[in-house]
Chain A
Amino acid sequence: MTVTPLDIAADEYLTVAARAMRTSGGVGALDSLGWWDLLAHLGETDLRTAVFAVFRAQGRELVSSPALGGLLAQPYLEAAGLEPGTVVATVPRASARGRSVLVAVGDVTDRMLLVDRPGQGATVAEPAAVVLRPVHLPGRLALHEIDVDLSRAAVTIDEPRAGVARDRSAFLGRVALALEIVGAAEGALALAVDHATHREQFGQPIGRFQAVRHLLAWARTDCVAIEAVARHAVALDSAAPPRYGEVVKALAGRNGRRACERALQVLGGIGFTAEHDHHHHHARVLALDALLGTSAALIPPLGAWLRATNADPGFASTVLLGDPSW
């Protein structure tokens, strides 16, 4: 695929991260890349780009790691003056059963877990106080629901400091999830492109039929859009417009699901089998969409917010066009 000059730096990190994931698995890759140490340097554009490249790589390679929780915990640790990389944050998942389910992504056995309770500060739970219940889903995603007894736990990060960390943490987490979603959707697209190139019907590869070609071109466009907004979030970081993390995450969930659906249509029945890898990519996109706000849950409040504030939701030229570091 053709790349523009802007793709190059991010693509180099992506290539390195994907290779590490393939050879060492998720947890091993984070160690070999020195990823945990990079968390203390999120203020530096280049290193931040490297931190986020890991998420797109693990989406592509269908690898699992506790990177999401590590990234989410970082602003809390910073606010509390704790050492980076020592704690992994849990993620609340909204549930129609009327309760918020706490989950952790990746293998978090023996890790200290951070639980944020808005209004009450954040608590760090020892491994002994935590029960991990594995969630068995396709997608090669290590996911656990968490039971934690916080009744006797001391508040580690008080509400004023946790409050400062909360928005920042959600922004970072949503951008990371968007990148993992695009990675997984790109994986689904690659499988479908390969299928369309080799599968023959009516005496020719189905990828010669315009109906099929257009489905795949739309899927690619869906992915390009996610990748571009996520890259802007990483590059601009705190200079991004208000609620940009929600925009990025909502767009990733919406477009990521759509790309998977288009890929599935091209694959036909084989894509709907347990034998074919498509369902792993598709299931991962669905699972990641469910974390930190589904697109369905995020989109109407974004509209309501615009309506209530009459805000101009775009970038200021001085920020986007005037930034010489692009």
Chain B
Amino acid sequence: MAGKTLYDKIWDAHRVRQDPDGTTLLYIDRHLVHEVTSPQAFEGLRVAGRAPWRIDANLAVPDHNVPTQDRAQGIADPISRLQVETLDGNCVDFGITEFAMNDVRQGIVHVIGPEQGATLPGMTVVCGDSHTSTHGALGALAFGIGTSEVEHVLATQCLIQKKAKNMRVRVDGTLPPRVSGKDVILAVIGEIGTAGGTGHTIEFAGSVIRDLSLEARMTVCNMTIEAGARAGLVAVDDKTIDYVRGRPYAPQGDLWEQAVTAWRKLRSDPDAIFDREIVLDAATIRPQVSWGTSPEMVAAVDGVVPDPAQEADPVKRSGIEQALAYMDLRPHTAITDIRPNKIFIGSCTNSRIEDLRAAADVVRGQRIAESIDLAMVVPGSGLVKQQAEHEGLDRVFTDAGFEWREPGCSMCLAMNADRLEPGERCASTSNRNFEGRQGQGGRTHLVSPAMAAAAAVAGHFVDITAL
């Protein structure tokens, strides 16, 4: 019999029951909750007179709607305010732990889960948010769910699921200097497409993934959903265990030792079989910049905007044409000739301390270009912000002309006041460049933190490997 993949192992350990057709009741260890996808679920519980099954498995935080400045003033938009207050009220009513807006531990749900040790290796982790895939970097099976499922987990601690297929993405070799986890995942999506992982759980493997820090692995797993896969995974190694050690929600003492023994087995067996496998050579990965309105529309920084005339498939061709019209770009334009007027460093993809350090290294001692109307850094959590300030990174950014903000989702999806105006162009470290994602009519170019920082200084994209 063939060995098991990491996904097989975690799945099997969480199977409560399974019907002959494969429909499985899967036990959920950790449920993360935010204000946007939960109100209707709590309301559903109330209407049905149901109580949460296991209160301590839930952790809540408002992140999508929170303002990133003048927090003392509260939330100005009454509809946003109501949504955040609804979360506060639901957490009080149901006894769920919440890091409320002015708690230093508040932040983007996918940043605080790992930061608090609320996400542990081998767990099943869900949240009403597609970027829950982030937590797979710790060797946890983590995926996004809809609001009906949020209610289902609250009420039963389980989900009705069918198992996905196994896919492995191996990135071998060594990354060129300044090429980051973000570039790796954008290159993967460019290669397999936004539906390339549909129906699969992707395990990321290979020497490059092993060499990445936990934070960079989170960046990679975060965007697995942009490759169509609900969950991304990385095997547990010493780095994982070192990362988790001592975090507030992590086990301690004997339990820690027991847990570590179990976690060491969280890797695919050498003879495990994957339904699909993709191999990328790290040496070929260049800093990536998205030029279109889908995360698969990426090019290397030294490349050019594609020509739809060269695309044979008619659906794809019209997709490229629509994207170029929306992005106001012409075929064959050099990527380095694209000039953003706004810079956003933040989001659950790239707002951890390592991301801020990488961006700060590029801007240290420099000024943002005249043509940049706004450059902002939004740390992923209050604790990331604190750490960055302790290292003096806030000064590096503000001295260069950046704004230093309070933690939250911010201009990743522009549900709060931070947004692009129609026609504005942004170098963004977030994960989605969909039409209107950062504000109606706004144009998004997805890049790594160092690339965003370099674009802020130069006023156009630059090849940071050549700096």
Q: Decide whether A and B are members of one complex.
A: no
Chain A interface residues toward B at CB < 8 A: none
Interface residues of B (CB under 8 A from A): none
